[in-house]
Amino acid sequence: MKVKQQVKDCLVKEGSRFRLAQRPTLIKSAYTSPEHYEEKMAAYRAELSAHQNLLFAHGRYSLLLIFQGMDTSGKDGAIKEVMAGVNPQSSQVHSFKSPSQEELRHDYLWRSHRYFPERGFIGIFNRSYYEEVLIARVDPEVLKQQNLPKELASSKRLWKERFSDIINMEDYLYRNGTRVVKFFLHISMGEQKKRILARIDDPKKSWKVSRADIDGRLKWRAYQKANEECLRATSRSKAPWYVIPADDKKTARLIISKVIVETLKALPLAYPSVDAARTQELNSLRRQLLKEKR
């Protein structure tokens, strides 16, 4: 199956009766060998680098990439591998860990606003404001830490209202030139178990394993339900969700790469035009340099 078709299959269509359980965690490989994978990744990196340069030079649009998924779903590795060819001078990566006390004293979207990419930049969120309708929903203690007024914290409309907040915010970003693309790395419970055990046995990765990884497995169904409702409610044509089969890390990375490249290609980007005054200035600088004896 071609990556283009795989991308289409991963999209959560706006208004669809999306079911996470009906989306596969493993699909036919998008590569035929390790060498073929490296060849395709190199091509995507070259395209991404070229379009990033154009995005920066154009200076009117920005791109925000959001990565969500269960622990060990491959968010860190995907970001590292896919974005390997990106210029760090015009990209920004932020990982959303547990909120600080300062962040908890503000509204739940406050800490995200500070990290939205500026025009010409690619912003990457490893986890994001979507944790506020996922972890905060599954774990009551997380919501309790936010110190909301009691009548709001206990409202039956809390999560629908938060979905609405997020949709409105992403619409606002779109109207200001920021394109938002969201990836949910969809991993099976069995594959997650294998990856946790592999980390435990690897001295270079065992430090990543914590009790939270196991606790998350105990709440697997609750997280799947929360993820499903979130993806269904917040996937829009202007800020789409892609559910990426993540049991095969390499195929996942190729699909993600394709989505990012196609998103940038769809923007009306161009290098700044050179008018008569600028042409005259450049010619003057050329003459000045040619006069130098060194």
Domain residue extents for the chain: 3-291
- Of residues 265, 273, 271, the one with CA closest to residue 63: 265
pLDDT in tens, 117-155: 999 999 999 999 999 999 999 999 999 999 999 999 999
* pLDDT score, position 249: 97
- Of residues 200, 205, 191, 284, the one with CA closest to residue 246: 191
- The band of 171, judged by pLDDT with boundaries at 50, 70 and 90, is very high
- What is the CATH architecture assignment of 3-291? 3-Layer(aba) Sandwich (3.40)
- pLDDT, averaged across the chain: 95
- The band of 215, judged by pLDDT with boundaries at 50, 70 and 90, is confident
- pTM of the full predicted structure? 0.94
pLDDT in tens, 8-55: 999 999 999 999 999 999 999 999 999 999 999 999 999 999 999 999
pLDDT in tens, 81-116: 999 989 988 999 999 988 999 999 999 999 999 999
CA atoms within 13 A on the CB side of 132: 25
